[in-house]
């Protein structure tokens, strides 16, 4: 699991194809801010084929958040949707592309997966 935004984007780029994004098509721009800098990552997604670059092009969707929060999301310590609802992650553009992209974020570190229909889980 990636520990930093750079590792996260490099891993996605190295995979080249991400099955979880098989229905996605478009360019997603991610702007990560620190105190006095903004780092931009571009993800060009075409039905699961992903190319990550630093080129500045017009995206279908633009996401803005702090680097600190993004690092928590990619480590599974923060839920991206909850952060969006709080306004800690803001976006404009193609909502469907953004919702599809969030599939690549990991779940919580202690997650064991979804329960099967009819299965009950007890706390350990």
Split the chain (124 residues) into runs of 10 and give each run's mean pLDDT. Answer: 86 93 96 94 96 91 96 92 95 95 84 57 52
What's the confidence (pLDDT) of residue 98?
A: 94
The confidence score (pLDDT) of residue 106 equals: 83
- Please give the pLDDT value at position 7: 93
Q: What does the buried/exposed string (b/e) look like for 74-91 if buried means 16 or more CB atoms within 10 Å of the residue's CB?
A: bbeebebeebbeeebbeb
pLDDT for res 9: 94
Rounded CA Rg of the chain: 15
- State the pLDDT at residue 122: 53
Can you tell me the distance from the alpha carbon of 28 to that of 94, in angstroms, rounded to the nearest whole number? Answer: 9
pTM: 0.84
Spatial neighbors of 49 by CB under 8 A, at least 6 apart, are 16, 17
pLDDT of residue 120: 55
- Per-residue DSSP letters for the chain? --SSHHHHHHHHHHH-B-GGGTT-EEEEEEEEE-SS-EEEEEEEEETTEEEEE------SEEEEEEHHHHHHHHTTSS-HHHHHHHTSSEEEE-HHHHHHHGGGS---TT---PPPTT------
Q: Which domains does the chain have, with CATH numbers?
A: 5-104 (3.30.1050.10)
């Amino acid at each position: 699991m990636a520990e930093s935004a750079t590792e996260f984007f490099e891993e996605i780029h190295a995979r080249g194809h991400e099955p979880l994004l098989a229905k996605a098509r478009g360019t997603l721009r991610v702007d990560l801010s620190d105190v006095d800098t903004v780092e931009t990552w571009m993800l060009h997604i075409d039905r699961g084929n992903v190319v990550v670059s630093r080129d500045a092009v017009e995206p279908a969707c633009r996401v803005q958040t702090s680097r600190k929060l993004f690092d928590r999301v990619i480590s599974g310590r923060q839920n991206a949707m909850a952060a969006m609802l709080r306004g800690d992650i803001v976006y404009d553009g193609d909502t469907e592309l953004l919702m599809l992209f969030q599939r690549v974020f990991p779940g919580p570190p202690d997650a064991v997966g979804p329960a099967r229909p009819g299965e009950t889980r007890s706390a350990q």
